[in-house]
Amino acid sequence: MMQIDVKIRDRICDVVERIIEISSTDIQIALGVMRTARTAEEFMEAKRDLLIAWIQFPYGRHVCYFCEIDPGSCDVCEWGKLHRRCGDPDSNYMVILNRKSALFEALDNIYHDGEEYGV
């Protein structure tokens, strides 16, 4: 088992905590709009905004333990040995990132696209 570097662990946890605080604020704002919506359109637009805020989970180099150990050392990255280098198109990192992006695009463009209901 690999011992953890406590400084890196704590730094990443601090970054994740800040991202969660920002997302939480955005979620609360959207929920407030949902609670006071007077139309289905206003409700659906706010719900779309809530869902988009919800999927903004921290994912990337700035919260990667292995990137923080030795930035730019992709060739010897312990995670990359098992999941392929992050920059490789078929790596697990890219699969997750692409699906996150696809979900964002779907929510942003087709969940509620300004349409009116019951017209």
Query: Tens digit of pLDDT for each residue in 83-116?
Result: 988 888 999 999 999 999 999 999 999 988 888 9
Query: Which has the closest alpha carbon to 80: 61, 70, 93, 63?
Result: 93
Q: What is the pLDDT of residue 94?
A: 92
Return the domain boundaries, the chain.
6-111
pLDDT at 119 over 80: no
18-61 pLDDT tens trace: 989 988 999 999 999 999 999 999 999 999 999 999 888 888 88
Going from the C-alpha of 89 to that of each of 61, 71, 84, 85, the distances in angstroms are 16, 20, 9, 9
